[in-house]
Amino acid sequence: MAELLVQQLVNWITLGCIYALLAIGFSLIFGVLNVIHFSHGDVAMTAPFITLALAQALATALGASGPAWLVLAVPVAVLAVGLIGVLLDKVVIRRFRDAPAMMALVATVALGIVIRELIRHLYPQGSNPHAFPRLVSGMAFEISGVAISWFALLVVVLTVALVAMLFVFLRMTPLGLRIRAASEDRVVARMMGIRDARVFRATFFIASAIGAIAGLLFASYAGVTRFDFGVMAGLLGFSAAVIGGLGSMPGAILGGLIIAGIEVLAQTFVPDGASYRLVFVFLLVIAVLIFRPAGLLGRTVMEKV
């Protein structure tokens, strides 16, 4: 029983960290632009495909093999996805910043479909699942007879490091302070001389790059990547952000841990729970929207109508 408890605890923390990273991207973009970027999950899940493509190119050109290509391909993929996020904002999303929320929502849903179809048709055998390796392998140590993998340790350490760096960036750098000012009130920030364009570019780059890391961890955890994984990754990340409170970084982390906890509990204690885990997750999302629309850590905003 102790071994089962420790194993499920490890699974919970690992999954929770991945979902939290996805949710942070949603919350960051919503907090600054007040736009629900529903294609964020699809943008994030382009990272594994870019990594695989780069790995294949390196193996062909340089003869690299094993983990060597991961060291080179992963950071390039994260940077590329960050730039893709900036490009999508410039080409599509910025045109809906001041539009009704429904227009932005529909536009980003359509954008996600475009991204998925491009992957499916342009990537070799894009309709088929593609094996994705563990970013790190092997066992780090044991707790109560349960082997803790280096991958699980990497996920936790990387998540803590990214959250800490984001915290420091937003509170102790000039650009971070500008992003926070724009998230509080864009009109006042503009009156104070803060340039919207730079703030939005930085926000999309950071959110997309963090999403890319989450996408890589998601694919590595599953051991496979598919062109349509962005749908599920996006729904889970968005649900975590909604539960915690859109626009709240601590809420995104809390929401990710809650969703992962529900999945792990369902798979452990409910018969055939793996098939029904998402039922419990989205029932919780509905309940939160009914009883606490702003999320567990979100702020209720009063508007004149």
Tell me the CA distances in angstroms from 272 to 252, 265, 268, 293, one per residue in order: 28, 12, 9, 31
Average pLDDT of the residues of the chain: 88
d(CA 7, CA 13): 10
Over residues 139-168, the pLDDT tens digits come to 878 877 778 889 999 999 999 999 999 999
d(CA 30, CA 145): 43
pTM of the predicted structure, to 2 decimals? 0.92
Instruction: Give residue 205's pLDDT band: very low, low, confident or very high (50, 70, 90).
Output: very high
Q: Tell whether the model's pLDDT for residue 79 goes beyond 90.
A: yes
Over residues 240-254, the pLDDT tens digits come to 999 999 888 899 999
Instruction: Give residue 63's pLDDT band: very low, low, confident or very high (50, 70, 90).
Output: low
Nearest to 218 by CA among 83, 90, 85, 43: 43
Instruction: Give residue 197's pLDDT band: very low, low, confident or very high (50, 70, 90).
Output: confident
Which stretches of 34-100 are DSSP H helices? 40-44, 46-62, 68-91
Q: Tell whether the model's pLDDT for residue 20 goes beyond 90.
A: yes
Q: What's the CATH number for 2-291?
A: 1.10.3470
Determine the average pLDDT of the residues in 208-221. Answer: 95
Q: Tell whether the model's pLDDT for residue 64 goes beyond 70.
A: no
**How crowded is the C-beta side of 36, counted as CA atoms within 13 Å?**
18
φ and ψ at 271, to 5 degrees? Answer: -55, 130
Instruction: Give residue 301's pLDDT band: very low, low, confident or very high (50, 70, 90).
Output: low
Determine the average pLDDT of the residues in 112-121. Answer: 94
pLDDT over 90 for what percent of the chain?
A: 53
Say what the pLDDT of residue 274 is: 79
Q: Tell whether the model's pLDDT for residue 28 goes beyond 50.
A: yes
Tell me the CA distances in angstroms from 158 to 5, 96, 151, 178, 299, one per residue in order: 24, 33, 10, 26, 28
Say what the pLDDT of residue 128 is: 93
